[in-house]
Amino acid sequence: MGHLRSIARSLLPSACVLCGAECTRAQICAPCDAELPRLPAQRCAVCALPLPSGLVCGACLDRSPLYTRVVAAFAYRYPLDALIQAYKYGGRLAYARLFGDALAAVASHDVDLIIPMPLAPGRLAERGFNQALEVARVVSATTGIPLQPLACRKVLETPAQAALPWKERARNVRRAFVCDADLRGKRVAVVDDVLTTGATLNELSRVIRRAGAVAIAGWIVARTLPRW
């Protein structure tokens, strides 16, 4: 049934979610897609922040994150910020496909399994869905890389990172996660919607490493970039 529905959807023209132009097989038309904010070509091989020269930025050299690298489909700027807000809080669940397809297109496929960033049970009940899991489902279906939605859990209800100063974000998520899976020798991709300081990804990476994973990639829909 889902298959038939997706065939029907791909045959019907639909409107671009940004400009309203008719487009088939996509939620964003080609001209709008070409204008979406992406990461600069010159960036840190680990955290993906802009880096005019060299491979790894000073911050990652000083203090290696517990994740191996970050891959992001977009920069977290207009209109991505608006699309992600509409997806998370405005009931636009269909954007999971748009985000997942874009992420699958930029992700390297040298990973063994995908783990979505877990949501604490209270937050999940409030929102009704895990925004990272719905994107991860699309990425998994597109790439064929297996999804392990239950490998990790968030056991602490923490205040939203966005509400906190950067310096407090690492402390806010400390010991927030547990990993119940045996990940010995595995290369893991963690899917999440937005990455800013990387504190949450780093903390989840701590338990994934403890479970035996040898590499952890953050696959992010949109990465915040410094304003300059």
Q: List contacts with Zn ion (CB under 5 A).
A: 16, 18-19, 21, 29, 32, 44, 46-47, 57, 60
Least distance from Zn ion to the Cβ atom of residue 13, Å:
13
CB of 96 to Zn ion, least distance (A): 19
CB of 146 to Zn ion, least distance (A): 29
CB of 43 to Zn ion, least distance (A): 8
Do 15 and 22 meet the contact criterion of CB atoms below 8 Å apart? yes
Choice between 94 and 150, CB closer to Zn ion: 94
- Pick between residue 60 and residue 117 the one whose CB is nearest to Zn ion: 60
Closest separation between CB of residue 39 and Zn ion, Å? 12
Q: Which is nearer to Zn ion, 58 or 146 (CB)?
A: 58
Minimum separation from the CB atom of position 46 to Zn ion (A)? 4
**Closest CB to Zn ion among residues 6, 64:** 64
Sign of the CA dihedral running 193, 199, 203, 208: positive
Tell whether the torsion through CA atoms of 217, 17, 29 and 143 is positive or negative: positive
SS3 sequence of the chain: CHHHHHHHHHHCCEECCCCCCEECCCCCCHHHHHHCCCCCCCECCCCCCECCCCCCCHHHHHCCCCCCEEEEEEECCCCHHHHHHHHHHCCCCCHHHHHHHHHHHHCCCCCCEEEECCCCHHHHHHHCCCHHHHHHHHHHHHHCCCECCCCEEECCCCCCHHHCCHHHHHHHHCCCEEECCCCCCCEEEEEEEEECCCHHHHHHHHHHHHCCCCEEEEEEEEECCCCC
CB of 122 within 8 A of CB of 139? no
Question: How near is the Cβ of 149 to Zn ion at its closest, in Å?
Answer: 29
